[in-house]
Amino acid sequence: MAQNGLISSSVAGWFQKIPIEETVGYLAEFVRAGKIRGIGLSEVSVTTIRRAASVHLIAAVEVEFSLFSPDIQENNVAATCAEPEIPIVVYSPLGKGFLTGQIKSFNDLRVFQKMDPRFHEENFHRNLELISNMKFSTTAMVFATLLSAALAAPTTIVSRGGTAWSVVDFLSES
């Protein structure tokens, strides 16, 4: 993201033979020189967040989060980010389109979604069943009543003490 002519750099899928501390240390030199605004991480573990944050302030952590994919609550990424108040940038709060009701058959998936094990044909019908059951859960009813699906995921993180921003491409998730 560009702001005031500066770009924030985000580490996503870094070459893991190079320790994250070294990668963040290198990017920190650019922050200190005023060449980039900050350092972000994408799809990382609790251990990686802590290791990176020990070298330099982390501007944000980008993760998938929705009622369909609540992993960051279970793997403690949300809690770890809340400790030093690292903002969480949420993507796919609409469950990659599953929570919009637009995906009704395996053929409705885009090519890249079909490569994700969660969306393989053998898992597809089970996922639709889970989403159907989710519609009747108390939590889902509260979300449906009080919030749009796009706000449900980031609001859940905020309510648990973290900071969240929602990054939604409504056209690609609808």
pTM over 0.85: no
Residue 23 pLDDT: 92
Domains of the chain and CATH, by start: 2-100+148-173 (3.20.20.100)
**pLDDT grade for 170, boundaries at 50, 70 and 90:** very low
Tens of pLDDT along 19-38? 999 999 999 999 999 999 99
Tens of pLDDT along 127-152? 888 877 766 565 555 555 444 544 55
DSSP 30-64: HHHTTSEEEEEEES--HHHHHHHHTTS---EEEEE
Tens of pLDDT along 57-91? 999 998 888 777 888 989 999 999 988 889 888 88
**Residue-averaged pLDDT of the chain:** 77
